[in-house]
Structure 1
Amino acid sequence: MSEVEALLGRSNRLGADPRNTNYAGGNTSAKGSVTDPATGRPAEVIWVKGSGGDLGTLKESGLAVLRLDRLHALTEVYPGVEREDEMVAAFDYCLHGRGGAAPSIDTAMHGLVDASHVDHLHPDAGIAFATAADGEALVKACFGERVVWVPWRRPGFQLGLDIAAVKRDNPQAIGVILGGHGITAWGATSDECEAHSLEIIETAQRYLDEHGRAEPFGPVVHSALPAEDRRVRAAELAPVIRGLASTDSPQVGHFTDSEVVLDFLARERHPELAALGTSCPDHFLRTKVRPLVLDLPVGAPLADVVERLKELHEAYREDYRSYYERHASPDSPAMRGADPAIVLVPGVGMFSFGRDKQTARVAGEFYVNAINVMRGAESVSRYAPIDEGEKFGIEYWALEEAKLQRMPKPKPLATRVALVTGGGSGIGRAVAERLAAEGACVVVADRDGDAARAVAEGIGSSDVAVPVTVDVTDGPGIAEAFRAAVLAFGGVDLVVNNAGLSISKPLADTTEADWDLQHDVMAKGSFLVSQQAAKVMRAQGIGGDIVYISSKNAVFAGPNNVAYGAAKANQAHQVRLLAAELGEDGIRVNGVNPDGVVRGSGIFAGGWGAQRAAVYGVPEDKLGEFYAQRTLLKREVLPSHVAAAVFALTAGDLSLTTGLHVPVDAGVAAAFLR
């Protein structure tokens, strides 16, 4: 096995276990010899996890490769701790070859330590020691001379020099606890390094288990709501909280009511501990320095909770502005936003927010790490995070700002949450796939749960798309679908009323059941969906889009089509009525009028195609061509064309357009809008 293969295997194993490090936290390295293609002579290099990425999924492309001789030469030009940020740019001049990841701030820690393999990790047990008020004494008591305490220092070149000196002066040591930060371990081989990392983590956890107090957060002062009540209350609050958290920039949300969170929020001391904030830089970069914590009794009336959250949110924003102004210097980056990333509601759970679902979910996971750290530190000592000024220095670090600036430009529908009815096939599937491709989180809703699941899984992970099974004629079922949506992503911004069916019969043969079924699914169904959509969007207070997939038949009188055409005309007028009613809430309502979509259509495959082909006297497999030939453009309408219209209406360029119907029919003159 090559050094790189061993490094990647070790990294993936360590990163796969949350007890060892958090998502995208920490880095690993290996040193070895390669042949320099420019000279043909051996060259000593270091492979080290680059900036960004995650140990659990690290691949060779995520490694930075640097020349050790040039990296060590930087010690001769190092200008001192006041200018150590300049050294990150100098790492680029140490790179061996092209490609690979950008070197991270921790490169010096790995390169300067005299060991072939180095791990830097953020285990909860290790950070509990790192944030304890008497951490140095605890490290001595727990590890003896085998692990050395290193006082807090911001990650960088000087910290690399410090750890290198510790390794040189303590030959018996296998690693260090970094005050306020995490652990670093080393070894002569990859296996030895991994074993040392695990030894530090497991020894620390064992010490906490054996010496820690049973209830470091104090006694339970209230119980959580029962599971179903908790879920209902969380769904009621999620859009409200997401709207508040999106005051400065739109956010996607995540909710968790894990036992760790509920127990913390049930305890007497949770308000004072939460106010201290998180400590490890990886934690507060994702969670902000502290969360917003609701201070009302569990089970308080919803209206009181909403009003109090608004008051606390304004106070949080003012407090954050003051924090920024206390510590910002003339060359600090501009304030990025004063809204909370973590909102804690006792008895209910935790709401976390980010620029996408993964970021929001990971922020919540990091706060769970922070709870574990607080529990460990408080069980054997007193939780003492790094001071506020140091936190600001990390949060508004020029290097962190540069990392943010390197991030790709967000897609047009980034941060938007879409719910598409009839999303399991045909037009609905194409719409769901297009919205997701443009950056939206998508809830695929369909009465066929297996179809909805297949579409959602085809789009991606649950961070991108989730399925819900719902019959749009069922009001309580629709309400439940929206509860699932807001618990998955924090809210809903974009709803596509696409669910439909059709029965082609002349007036004399159309039964009352035929009429009722089509009006229940399309007229009543879209009304019920829009009603729930408006409720969620109004709670969020950040506007939204409702799009109806109507039909050219809403304005065109085709033969043998009275029930379907009338239902579509009902939908078309709902667009106008709701656009007029919801405009003051910033909710835009528009429609798309397709011609018959034959290929890929669930409706046509379900019998409608055969019925319409019989009406027009053409073979069913020629129906799409027949429709195309009667249009001005002589082109067949496909599901992707309808999806493109939905995207055009919702992507931002038509932000002042509401009450509009967009024909997607290749030009059916008889269906021109008047």
Structure 2
Amino acid sequence: MTTTTSTAAADLIARSNRLGADPRVTNYAGGNTSAKGTALDPATGEPVELLWVKGSGGDLGTLTESGLAVLRLDRLRGLANVYRGPEHEDEMVAAFDYALHGKGGAAPSIDTAMHGLVDAAHVDHLHPDAGIAIATAADGERLTAEIFGGRVVWVPWRRPGWQLGLDIAAIKAENPEAIGTILGGHGITAWGDTSDEAEANSRWIIETAEAHIAEHARPEPFGPVLEGYAALPETERHAKAAALAPTIRGLASQDAPQVGHFSDDEVVLDFLAAAEHPRLTALGTSCPDHFLRTKVTPLVLDLPADADVDASIARLRELHEQYRVDYQAYYDRHATPGSPAIRGADPLIVLVPGVGMFSFGKDAQTARVAGEFYVNAINVMRGAEGLSTYAPIDEVEKFRIEYWALEEAKLQRLPKPKPLAGRIALVTGAASGIGKAIATRLAAEGACVVIADLDLGRAQAAAAEIGGPDVARGVAANVSDETAVQDSIAEVLLAFGGLDLVVNNAGLSLSKSLFDTTEADWDLQHDVMAKGSFLVAKNAARVLVDQGLGGDIVYISSKNSVFAGPNNIAYSATKADQAHQVRLLAAELGEHGIRVNGINPDGVVRGSGIFASGWGANRAKTYGIDEQDLGAFYAQRTILKREVVPENVAAAVYAICTSDFSHTTGLHIPVDAGVAAAFLR
């Protein structure tokens, strides 16, 4: 059964975007949809039946035409003649290449077979919480018949692939009144003659399941609240989360650096407060879309909410050691000679009663989505426990999915990580000028960046311009106030789970002669730059040490730290202070793998907040030139005769933080186009 034109693809994209935008239906990159229709074969000019299906790794909510795989329906269905059974599913994905239409579009997923074999113009395969709750209930088959009658048919768990497609196709043929299925342990599939009908059927299954759970679920499906496990007040739990974050991020990054995400969603806090959470977390998640992003089980701190931070850290370390042993044993129990290598034994989800959930991934989006999927898993457990008993698929089946050669192939198709991927940076004074250029460059190279500035609005605007909340965040920071510095770093930890790279850039400049410089001028200059850099470095270094992952601290000092010029006594003295802080901290923090280096710019006029705030006018007056000519003046006094711009400083910061400089600390890099009087000695 097919629709009559290739407009089926356009209908498919619109339906997919609607479904993907509804969190009751599916989560990021979850599920897949398809449409069948006709189009002209460019080789023959004759109409040909085609299948458009969401490609491997795509996201329904943001799906576009480029994310669709396109296959000839006759050749796809013909592959059933060479299918050798469930133990040979892997070879069938490679066979899809022989059924592609034209260039084929996106890579077909393993679910392509189901979409092609089911005799319906439009098919949806989705992972709604309510649907999976029925699918993971111990008596899911009985519940399916009770809730949906003959309109929805139970399908026992089967790994996705050709056999599952053949099973569902047979069920549809044998049950003409059916509009879909509950896939045991997994999710739902629905179909329709039109795109609207398929969407309506999908939503009917979901809404009917939700209504049944709401009406019939027993109260307190997770059991009563455990004494001492209720959520801490918000301020207290955020403070504890920030205190635990460096240790947790360090534990989760033993095999590879991970970016973190913190959530204290009410769903998580209520689950962790309940008596049954230890049993349920140990059972693990069930839907493949869940455990592929969360690992099969989380790490759960088994202490009450009011346990002090030191005791919690000590216990987390013990639990992490046991988690790694258990995960290695899980791998060893099920791996075969052909299995992909273990992908790391660290947890991706860490649950702390009374506080919340830390989730981890290769970048901020992956970490955030992992947390969202675990919230889905909690919702699934609530529904299944409310109606029956939660009974996820067994461990061997989880392993077969997690370490499926097809999953490994999907991972291998991912683009190579950028040089700073997995690193988290804090840049002070970054709403404009040099700081903004540094933040922009670090983000472009893969880092998550927190822009700290006195002006919160400008910091947030700069972060939005650089890339939004999964790339950059803006926070308020008065670097001369230690409490404000600590609060800013806590915001970094709650935003991205940790910290790797700190750039001390915040500054101001007062261009005055010795006799015109007041005590207040001196104190202001030193409070912001000398004291401010010290406070940021001190509090950031605590985080870096607690993580145990090394890190970088970079000072934006100045040519003036080594060069004596007129009318800038306060500014140059504080820059010299910063320059020596670099040397002192490099010597002190090296044992922790923390590198401390400095950048010495000169004459950065263009885009500079310092120059725009009066420094430029004063320096121009000192040199007897017009302010608009200051950049050119600075360029002409250099050896290279080049003007220095913020991006040049940003390039130096990026370079010193890469692995190419892994053995360099205590260095000052001049970015001044060559000023002989400022050569380092």
After TM superposition, the score normalised by the length of structure 2 is 0.98
Task: Give structure 1 stretches of 5+ with no counterpart.
Answer: none
CA distance in 2 between counterparts of 1:620 and 1:450 reads: 29
1:220 aligns with 2:214: no
1:628 aligns with 2:635: yes
Pick one of 395, 405, 412 that aligns with 2:412: 405
CA distance in 1 between counterparts of 2:517 and 2:116 reads: 79
CA distance in 2 between counterparts of 1:194 and 1:521 reads: 59
**CA displacement, residues 34-88 of structure 1 (integer Å, 9 cap, x when unaligned):** 0111111110001100001111111111101100000011011111111121110
1:344 alignment counterpart:
351
1:289 alignment counterpart:
296
1:165 aligns with 2:165: no
1:40 aligns with 2:49: no
Pick one of 328, 335, 339 that aligns with 1:321: 328
Mapping of residues 98-113 of structure 1, within 5 Å: 98=103, 100-113=105-118
1:360 alignment counterpart:
367
Residue 450 of structure 2 aligns to a residue in which SS?
Answer: strand
1:639 aligns with 2:646: yes
Pick one of 199, 208, 211 that aligns with 2:216: 211
CA distance in 2 between counterparts of 1:399 and 1:515 reads: 64
Task: Give structure 2 stretches of 5+ with no counterpart.
Answer: 1-5
Residue 84 of structure 1 aligns to a residue in which SS?
Answer: helix
1:428 alignment counterpart:
435
Q: Read off the aligned partner of 1:495 and give its amino acid letter.
A: V
Pick one of 156, 171, 181 that aligns with 1:151: 156
1:594 alignment counterpart:
601
Pick one of 61, 65, 90 that aligns with 2:95: 90
1:269 alignment counterpart:
276
CA distance in 1 between counterparts of 2:279 and 2:316 reads: 18
CA distance in 2 between counterparts of 1:454 and 1:268 reads: 44
1:70 aligns with 2:110: no
Answer whether contact 2:561 2:575 (CA < 8 A) is retained.
yes
2:3 alignment counterpart:
none
Residue 334 of structure 1 aligns to a residue in which SS?
Answer: coil
Once the 2 structures are TM-superposed, how far is the Cα of residue 588 of structure 1 from its aligned partner? 0.5
1:469 alignment counterpart:
476
Once the 2 structures are TM-superposed, how far is the Cα of residue 187 of structure 1 from its aligned partner? 0.4
Mapping of residues 106-125 of structure 1, within 5 Å: 106-125=111-130
1:662 aligns with 2:645: no
Residue 451 of structure 1 aligns to a residue in which SS?
Answer: helix
2:182 alignment counterpart:
177
1:24 alignment counterpart:
29
Q: Read off the aligned partner of 2:102 and give its amino acid letter.
A: G
Q: Read off the aligned partner of 1:22 and give its amino acid letter.
A: N
**CA displacement, residues 406-463 of structure 1 (integer Å, 9 cap, x when unaligned):** 1111000000000000100100000000000000000000001122111100011201
Once the 2 structures are TM-superposed, how far is the Cα of residue 261 of structure 1 from its aligned partner? 0.2
Q: Read off the aligned partner of 2:654 and give its amino acid letter.
A: F
Once the 2 structures are TM-superposed, how far is the Cα of residue 11 of structure 1 from its aligned partner? 0.6
CA distance in 2 between counterparts of 1:672 and 1:198 reads: 70
**CA displacement, residues 240-259 of structure 1 (integer Å, 9 cap, x when unaligned):** 10000000000000000011
**CA displacement, residues 152-172 of structure 1 (integer Å, 9 cap, x when unaligned):** 000011111111000111101
CA distance in 2 between counterparts of 1:599 and 1:320 reads: 54
CA distance in 1 between counterparts of 2:178 and 2:63 reads: 28
**CA displacement, residues 561-593 of structure 1 (integer Å, 9 cap, x when unaligned):** 111110000000000000001001111000000
CA distance in 2 between counterparts of 1:201 and 1:297 reads: 36
2:426 alignment counterpart:
419
Once the 2 structures are TM-superposed, how far is the Cα of residue 99 of structure 1 from its aligned partner? 5.1
Once the 2 structures are TM-superposed, how far is the Cα of residue 508 of structure 1 from its aligned partner? 1.0
2:61 alignment counterpart:
56
Once the 2 structures are TM-superposed, how far is the Cα of residue 353 of structure 1 from its aligned partner? 0.3
Provide the aligned length of Structure 1 versus Structure 2: 674
Mapping of residues 377-416 of structure 1, within 5 Å: 377-416=384-423
CA distance in 2 between counterparts of 1:317 and 1:668 reads: 54
Residue 660 of structure 2 aligns to a residue in which SS?
Answer: coil
Residue 673 of structure 1 aligns to a residue in which SS?
Answer: coil
Higher mean C-alpha displacement, 532-541 vs 427-436: 532-541
CA distance in 2 between counterparts of 1:30 and 1:395 reads: 28
Higher mean C-alpha displacement, 109-118 vs 79-88: 79-88
1:560 aligns with 2:541: no
CA distance in 2 between counterparts of 1:33 and 1:641 reads: 55
Pick one of 242, 250, 265 that aligns with 1:235: 242
Once the 2 structures are TM-superposed, how far is the Cα of residue 210 of structure 1 from its aligned partner? 1.2
Mapping of residues 480-491 of structure 1, within 5 Å: 480-491=487-498
**CA displacement, residues 339-379 of structure 1 (integer Å, 9 cap, x when unaligned):** 00000000000000000000000000000000000000011
CA distance in 2 between counterparts of 1:95 and 1:224 reads: 53
CA distance in 1 between counterparts of 2:178 and 2:457 reads: 56
CA distance in 2 between counterparts of 1:76 and 1:301 reads: 63
Distance 1:99-1:637 versus aligned 2 partners, 3 A rule = farther
Residue 646 of structure 1 aligns to a residue in which SS?
Answer: helix
Answer whether contact 2:71 2:104 (CA < 8 A) is retained.
no
- Aligned residues with identical type, % of pairs: 74
Residue 224 of structure 1 aligns to a residue in which SS?
Answer: coil
Answer whether contact 2:136 2:384 (CA < 8 A) is retained.
yes
CA distance in 1 between counterparts of 2:58 and 2:243 reads: 35
CA distance in 2 between counterparts of 1:302 and 1:120 reads: 44
Mapping of residues 563-582 of structure 1, within 5 Å: 563-582=570-589
Residue 262 of structure 2 aligns to a residue in which SS?
Answer: strand
Pick one of 204, 213, 238 that aligns with 1:199: 204
Once the 2 structures are TM-superposed, how far is the Cα of residue 546 of structure 1 from its aligned partner? 0.3
Answer whether contact 2:258 2:362 (CA < 8 A) is retained.
yes
**CA displacement, residues 180-217 of structure 1 (integer Å, 9 cap, x when unaligned):** 11000000000110000001001111111111101110
Answer whether contact 2:561 2:572 (CA < 8 A) is retained.
yes
Once the 2 structures are TM-superposed, how far is the Cα of residue 2 of structure 1 from its aligned partner? 2.0
After TM superposition, the score normalised by the length of structure 1 is 0.99
Runs of 4+ in 1 over 3 A off after TM superposition: none
CA distance in 2 between counterparts of 1:192 and 1:375 reads: 30
Residue 102 of structure 2 aligns to a residue in which SS?
Answer: coil
CA distance in 1 between counterparts of 2:595 and 2:165 reads: 55
CA distance in 2 between counterparts of 1:566 and 1:596 reads: 17
CA distance in 2 between counterparts of 1:389 and 1:57 reads: 33
Q: Read off the aligned partner of 2:21 and give its amino acid letter.
A: A
Q: Read off the aligned partner of 1:199 and give its amino acid letter.
A: W
**CA displacement, residues 212-251 of structure 1 (integer Å, 9 cap, x when unaligned):** 1011100011311111000000000111100000000000
Residue 575 of structure 1 aligns to a residue in which SS?
Answer: helix
Once the 2 structures are TM-superposed, how far is the Cα of residue 21 of structure 1 from its aligned partner? 1.0
1:511 aligns with 2:518: yes
Answer whether contact 2:293 2:370 (CA < 8 A) is retained.
yes
1:369 aligns with 2:380: no
Q: Read off the aligned partner of 1:506 and give its amino acid letter.
A: S
Once the 2 structures are TM-superposed, how far is the Cα of residue 509 of structure 1 from its aligned partner? 1.0
Once the 2 structures are TM-superposed, how far is the Cα of residue 130 of structure 1 from its aligned partner? 0.6
Pick one of 446, 449, 452 that aligns with 2:453: 446
